[in-house]
A and B are shown apart, each in its own frame.
Chain A
């Protein structure tokens, strides 16, 4: 049994991790590792970077093709896609958000990791609404780029 099947928490070992160069242009991290029947991310990708063998296979992102457009973030029914971009000492994490307390651009919010632990403050840089899902881009320290996956407003 894998650890995440007990805890619910994925580690970067289970994920496709982009190279430094790919992170610099910004790419989508697909935190969807199980075989579940679902494929809206594939249909949403304008450059056909996301693919899957069949509807049950986990999605795979071709980081070379991915342009980090964030379209898939608001589409994923599992709220499991994040776009990460790193430059120098700063990182921008784009994540889905569906709670009552609404962030605004320029707000300082709490940045949480996959365990729900507050790791730092984050600055809200951009908000796009995809239906009722808010797609929020925050700025954090670059060392936290692959850890921060939630915000608390």
Chain B
């Protein structure tokens, strides 16, 4: 199940790490998460549902959902899709509602960190925000839940579109390295603090500054920080959407992005034959990357009557012989305790299934690429005004042209501010980073702010930018109304 040969990524053999799953000894590799190590040995069932005890595997693969919770070294509810594998750990499937042990905080008092700007999320938006804000002279703390920075760029093996300023022609994985180099340089200069494997757990009342609780994990134990900042930029990304159909919770039904993480970051095959649901750019790109990893793609089905993603991505798949069926969707997944096949069905002009158009497909993996929802829980807890905007992917925070929300000093950037592309997320990050530095009096460069906004407008000017354009126009109007 390991991918050893790949046209884009060099998967080197890494040190073996023995561990225990249900008391049985298994072997993973250094750099694995617990879930990727289990997948590599063929274990796809990680937990069971609360009510009916149905088997469950992970869905999102990036620590956003709860379908991979397991007990690790006695600690329940560990998100095994992002928790690193360590030698000799005991991994168990946990009873339904696991009881939490007494919190262990190393017996150390909490530490206080004072900074100008806190950035939540080190994906393309957060990294650009941190680099921009620190370059302008603000002191910055950037926090991310993962082991490494880069967010979802670390699995994007394709070359990016856009212009030179947005790294066009460079693969996402290489953009992540470039941004990390800039980040680490500023870290060495003492301008940025970087905290990975850490979670911003909530905001707390404070008189003058914004105040957040941050938990940094160490070997499945944690350390608590009390972070005070004048501005906060929330670049928490998004989560993949689920689709309703019988069998959608069987192990083997994944978000397309989750599969992309599993194969491109950890070098593990999700299965041998895949049905892709959704022909937007994510569905098309991940399908092609499955082929590159040596995994068969049976076909791509798309409920809409047309392909939503770029034709260049669709054309790459078609010339490899992969069928794309528009006006088709998945009806159900077949299989007892795992995916063994699926039934796809043709839809009429009202998106209703056409009688007797069902077709059975043999496959062991289903990928859902049916859109994303912005991660806004922290914004909600801060008390930022949130509005439902369908074109933005759900609830988002109305923000002004400087990415500032209804609460002074609270900024958003990237998918958390409305679903869009990594290229626009990077510019939004730069805008939020610069604007926060201007707010704190660290910079006066309003000309640069205007330049970034112009770059953003250019990227959204085409027909594929229509949806985010509408979303951002609605957001701007709501922000203005709130301000008035």
Contact = CB atoms under 8 A, between A and B. Distances in A.
Among B159, B313, B316, B326, the one with the most A-chain Cβ atoms within 10 Å of its Cβ is B159
Contact of A100 (B7, B321, B322, B324): B7
Contacts of B314: 4, 8
A9 B312 CA distance: 9
A40 interface: yes
Interface in B135-164: 158-164
Contacts of B320: 112, 116, 150
A114 B319 contact: yes
Contacts of A75: 169
Interface string A98-136: 111000000000001111110000000000000110000
A107 B465 CA distance: 43
A83 B320 CA distance: 19
A8 B311 contact: yes
A78 B319 CA distance: 13
Given A98-B8, A112-B319, A56 B310 contact: no
B168 interface: yes
Nearest to B311: A34
Nearest to B314: A8
Given A7-B324, A77-B158, A117-B321, A39 B315 contact: no
B307 A31 contact: no
Contacts of A114: 315, 318-319
A56 B466 CA distance: 12
Contacts, number: 127
B322 A116 contact: yes
A6 B307 contact: yes
Contacts of B322: 116
Interface string B451-472: 0000000111111110000000
A54 B168 contact: no
The DSSP consensus for interface residues of chain A is loop
Nearest to A150: B319
A55 B459 contact: yes
B438 interface: no
A69 interface: no
Interface string B394-430: 0000000000000000000000000000010000000
Interface string A35-79: 111111001000000000011100000000000000000010111
Contact of B463 (A7, A34, A112, A113): A34
A17 interface: no
Interface in B310-338: 310-322, 324, 326
A55 B458 contact: yes
Nearest to A80: B312
A150 B319 CA distance: 6
A5 B462 contact: no
B461 A37 contact: yes
Contact of A78 (B310, B318, B321, B326): B310
B246 interface: no
B311 A77 contact: no
Contacts of A36: 161, 310, 312, 462, 464
Given A34-B310, A54-B458, A100-B294, A8 B315 contact: yes
Given A8-B318, A132-B8, A77 B168 contact: yes
Contacts of A31: 312, 315
Contacts of A10: 311, 315
Interface of B: 5-8, 158-164, 168-169, 171, 279, 291-292, 294, 305-307, 310-322, 324, 326, 423, 458-465
29 contacts: A4-B314, A5-B306, A6-B306, A7-B324, A8-B279, A8-B315, A8-B318, A32-B312, A33-B311, A34-B311, A34-B312, A34-B464, A35-B464, A37-B465, A38-B168, A55-B162, A77-B159, A77-B160, A78-B312, A80-B315, A98-B292, A99-B292, A100-B5, A100-B292, A100-B294, A112-B321, A131-B171, A150-B319, A150-B320
Given A132-B7, A132-B8, 4 more contacts: A5-B306, A8-B317, A37-B161, A40-B168
